[in-house]
Structure 1
Amino acid sequence: MLVDDQALVRGALAALLELESDLEVVGEVGRGDEVVAAARSAAPDVVLMDVEMPGMDGIEATAALRAALPQIRVLIVTTFGRPGFLRRGLQAGAAGFVVKDTPARELADAVRRVHQGLRVVDPALATDSLVAGESPLTQRETEVLRTARSGGTVADLAGTLFLSEGTVRNHLSSAIGKTGARTRAEAVQIADNNGWL
């Protein structure tokens, strides 16, 4: 089953995979929050999951799918080869992680290997992930930065997160320090580029 918010990408992946005699695309979904229901209906062996999608991102959708249907294996296929995405994806239960510029034959082989119970990880991304290490941010700091992506004042963030303005300022200040940023916007960008959000 293919999960990607871009119809053109889903179509291209489906066409490439259907060229393989032993692979069949049994379903396609464009939103992360539709994955579990679609998987219950289509009963795939392997789900190819994008990361950035509406409704629910691919990492959250992977965790939800693995909780609901643990027999289904997940291969994350994304444009964004960020070390934090790899780490978070594997922690969510993905069996593999490759980038979208992977050659078609290698992608088909990755699907087969994941189906066999093996783990498949893009080697360059694995190296980057080891070098970058884990996110230094706490869960609350991550949540505050994620909310700060869309801008707004500290009061706006506090209202959205149901926190006091002082608490939001403290989390922002800590996140700025941990990322080595100078501003909130720079902290968001650094954390986003590392796949921590």
Structure 2
Amino acid sequence: MIRVLLADDQALVRGALASMLRIEPDIDVVAEVGSGTEVLDAAKRTSPDIALLDVQMPGLDGLAVAAQLRHALPDCRAVICTTFSRPGYLSRAMSAGAAGYVVKDSPPEQLVNAIRRVHSGLRFIDPALAAESLANGASPLTDREADVLRATADGGTVADIAKIVGLTEGTVRNHLSSAIGKTQARTRAEAARLAETNGWL
């Protein structure tokens, strides 16, 4: 049996996934949690083979949880199951140690296939997203540019952003200018929105 832990903050989605997976003769859903902060404890209690993780959850997001599981429970392999069909998220998920990435609007058999493949030691990536990722390439932003764009989310001044990221105002302006150019945006708010949409933040 393939032991699966489900982590999704939407109870209806979590319940539907659990019901669908329990139909499969070789899959046993051993735990269901609604936040990223609950995953590690639940995984330690139930010893799943696969952790099926949403990206956006309260507490820790699915990407942070995948990294946490990779270090704490390397025998539990993470599969991201999300509405976000974005190359940037895929890249970040793979960097965090996820072994699979499935988009929620995929056919049910694709999710089941992903779980089986990952359990057998392989990787699984949504085919359409994999093709888009190859076409788009990696994030053009440096780590510092991404930090500065994240800090713009509250709409603060350059001085506010400088305090948040621990840089001088001049350096923040340079990073913002570079990020705006790389995202082909007109403003820093638009650059942050585009970077978020592409999964680069």
**Is the structural similarity TM-score above 0.5?**
yes
> 1:53 and 1:147, CA in 2 relative to 1: closer, same or farther beyond 3 A?
farther
Structure-2-length-normalised TM-score: 0.92
- Please list, as runs of the form range in 1=range in 2, the aligned pairs for 1:166-181 lying within 5 A after superposition: 166-181=170-185
- Whether 1:47 aligns to 2:51 is yes
Aligned residue in 2 for 1:98: 102
The number of residue pairs the alignment matches comes to: 197
- Whether 1:161 aligns to 2:143 is no
Aligned residue in 2 for 1:195: 199
- Whether 1:16 aligns to 2:20 is yes
Greater fraction of residues in strand: 2
The offset of 1:53, in angstroms, is: 1.7
Structure-1-length-normalised TM-score: 0.94
The offset of 1:135, in angstroms, is: 0.6
5+ residue gaps, structure 2, are none
Percent identity over the alignment is 62
Aligned residue in 2 for 1:61: 65
CA distance, structure 1, for counterparts of residue 154 and residue 13 of structure 2: 26
The offset of 1:57, in angstroms, is: 1.8
Amino acid at match of 2:30: V
- Whether 1:28 aligns to 2:32 is yes
Superposed CA offset, 1:101-131 (max 9, x none): 1122221121111111111111110010011
Amino acid at match of 1:103: P
CA distance, structure 1, for counterparts of residue 112 and residue 164 of structure 2: 42
Superposed CA offset, 1:142-169 (max 9, x none): 1111222232222222222233322222
CA distance, structure 2, for counterparts of residue 28 and residue 153 of structure 1: 42
More moved, 15-24 vs 25-34:
25-34
Where 1:24 maps in the other structure, the secondary structure is strand
5+ residue gaps, structure 1, are none
- Whether 1:132 aligns to 2:132 is no
